[in-house]
Structure 1
Amino acid sequence: MKTGLIFDMDGTLWDSSENVAASWTEKIKSLGLKRPDITKQDVMSIMGLTMDRIADILFGDLPEKERYELLDQCCDHENEYLRIHGGVLYPDLESTFRRLRKKYSLYIVSNCQSGYIEAFLEHYGFGKYFDDIECYGNNLKGKGDNIALLARRNRLDKAYYIGDIQGDYDATMQAGFDFIHASYGFGKIDHTVPELKKFSDLPKLLESLIN
């Protein structure tokens, strides 16, 4: 039986909100636009949403075409910024990846733009731990569809999605897999689910769930 662990990004593996805000503010200023700075709080408020929803929330005062063009420019700059500067990793991330790889296949599915996951993997050299990734920016599909797509593509018999917000749980239920709540992250879950208090506890938690 092939068991996969599929990870959310923001609030599960890292917190990139401060550098995302910095990169967007930098890009907007470089374009000569007179808009308020994008703050960490702004970014935290839209974490987990698909990119079209983010454009509607942060740039909703602009005509539709202009808001999506600005979003694309900010996201492209964000990817390059994060590739150089990274974000804030949760403790013991890489050592836990090493332990998990001995028994499981590892994946990432996010509602982010294309290139965001790659920036994370490239900055930290984590690509060697993951077998596949998928995101909204690649195919305009929501997280539930992409969890299911990735599982089919990699012929997973069983999968756990590890995420931190209600939307992650809902997407996992849509895809028909099991969910683990990264309770150290950004959100709460309205259901009783296995809870991960710190990332390094994941191998032990999985042993209790699978055995």
Structure 2
Amino acid sequence: MQKPDSLIFDMDGTLWDAVDTYAQSWNLIFQKLDIPRTIKRDDLLHVIGMEGQKLTRVLLPELDDEKGMEVYYAVNQVRREILPTSGGIMYKGVKDGLQQLSSKYKLFVLSNCAVGIIPLFLAWADINEFITDSMAYGTNQMPKNHNMHLLMDKHNLQSPVYIGDTNGDAEQTRLAGIPFTFVSYGFGNTDDYDNKFDDFESLTQYYLSL
């Protein structure tokens, strides 16, 4: 495998766990819209990382796409409001690891989240200075493989690696034609990877050693 010149990170399940805050944002909107429903953490774990429309079809199958996306946008507006204070849980070693890796690589965050969520995460985690750029599904409603290529073209990346925690991440990375690194501590599972790490410290040491 070619030595990478850049590392592109998934966000949820790779850098942090904000599922409890995400659940709270759904439930606040359900209350507001008088939808008799409560989303629990476990309900969200199997849909984390899905594109918005797929996610609403799974969580709100009783609604048509248009209505489902209206709810989704409302949820994300609330999420943007509560995330700076509710935050999440950073995985062990992530902040120090990103600081170290940024001295050797261009670092990026690419997620299937709504517009505005990644900057709030970067600010909350105090890691803005280590990240060259980011890209969210909400920017253009395009899948990760497309957005990987947008980042590659914009920043002239010759040999990036995508780092994520789900089989969907693996599939999208293969479609983009770049290597995939799997972190097993996140929300998903896959057997399709070029490298696998059980903690962020191991990942950091590996890429620093190249």
TM-score category by the smaller chain? over 0.9
The aligned counterpart of 1:134 is 135
Q: Following the alignment from structure 1 to structure 2, what is the Cα–Cα distance between the partners of residues 188 and 2? A: 24
The aligned counterpart of 1:88 is 89
Residue 26 of structure 1 aligns to a residue whose secondary structure is: helix
The aligned counterpart of 2:24 is 22
The residue correspondences of 1:163-202 to structure 2 (distance < 5 A) are 163-191=164-192, 193-202=194-203
Listed one character per residue, the Cα deviations across residues 121-157 of structure 1 (whole Å, up to 9, x for unaligned) are: 1212221111111111001110111111111111011
Q: Following the alignment from structure 2 to structure 1, what is the Cα–Cα distance between the partners of residues 4 and 161? A: 12
Residue identity opposite 2:22 in structure 1: V
* RMSD between superposed Cα atoms in Å: 1.6
Q: Following the alignment from structure 2 to structure 1, what is the Cα–Cα distance between the partners of residues 67 and 168? A: 28
**Aligned partner of 2:10 among 8, 11, 36:** 8
Residue identity opposite 2:111 in structure 1: S
**Structure 1-normalised TM-score?**
0.93
Residue 46 of structure 2 aligns to a residue whose secondary structure is: helix
Mind listing any 5+ residue stretches in structure 2 that lack a counterpart?
none
Residue identity opposite 2:179 in structure 1: D
Residue 187 of structure 1 aligns to a residue whose secondary structure is: coil
Residue 181 of structure 1 aligns to a residue whose secondary structure is: strand
Residue 12 of structure 1 aligns to a residue whose secondary structure is: coil
Q: State the shift of 1:183 in Å.
A: 1.1
The aligned counterpart of 2:56 is 55
The aligned counterpart of 1:116 is 117
Q: Following the alignment from structure 2 to structure 1, what is the Cα–Cα distance between the partners of residues 99 and 129? A: 10
Q: Name the count of aligned residue pairs.
A: 208
Cα contact 1:2–1:156 (8 A) shared by 2: no
Q: Following the alignment from structure 1 to structure 2, what is the Cα–Cα distance between the partners of residues 76 and 192? A: 34
Mind listing any 5+ residue stretches in structure 1 that lack a counterpart?
none
**Identity percentage over the alignment?**
31
